[in-house]
Amino acid sequence: MDDSAYDELVSSLTPQESGGGVTSYRNTVSVACPACEEPFDDLVVVHDDETPLELSRMLDICVSRHDGDVLLFTHRH
Ligand SMILES: [Zn+2]
């Protein structure tokens, strides 16, 4: 994902929490997931590959990357 796409994406989302190498955003306006083009629920930006994540609540995840960060797009069905 390039910088302009990333900036546009994040500007549409609601910041939720950050810390521990992770920043999460809530998708309140049904932005389409860049990977599967279905609206996602949350974007989790992982700034540190070593960060442990609680993924048990995430049933379906699409993954992208930006500048070495891992972007997790979560879908709850
Ligand atoms: Zn997706």
State the pLDDT confidence band at 76, using cuts at 50, 70 and 90: confident
In the prediction, which pLDDT does 38 show? 95
Q: Which of 52, 44, 40, 41 is nearest to 72 (CA)?
A: 44
Summarize pLDDT for 19-37 with one digit per residue, the tens: 888 999 999 999 999 999 9
pLDDT grade, residue 62 (50/70/90)? Answer: very high
Domain containing residue 15: 3-75
Task: Say whether pLDDT at 58 is over 70.
Answer: no
56 alpha carbon – ligand 1 mean position (Å): 17
Q: What is the DSSP code (8-state) at residue 59?
A: S
Number of domains in the chain: 1
Residue 49 Cα to ligand 1 midpoint, Å, equals 20
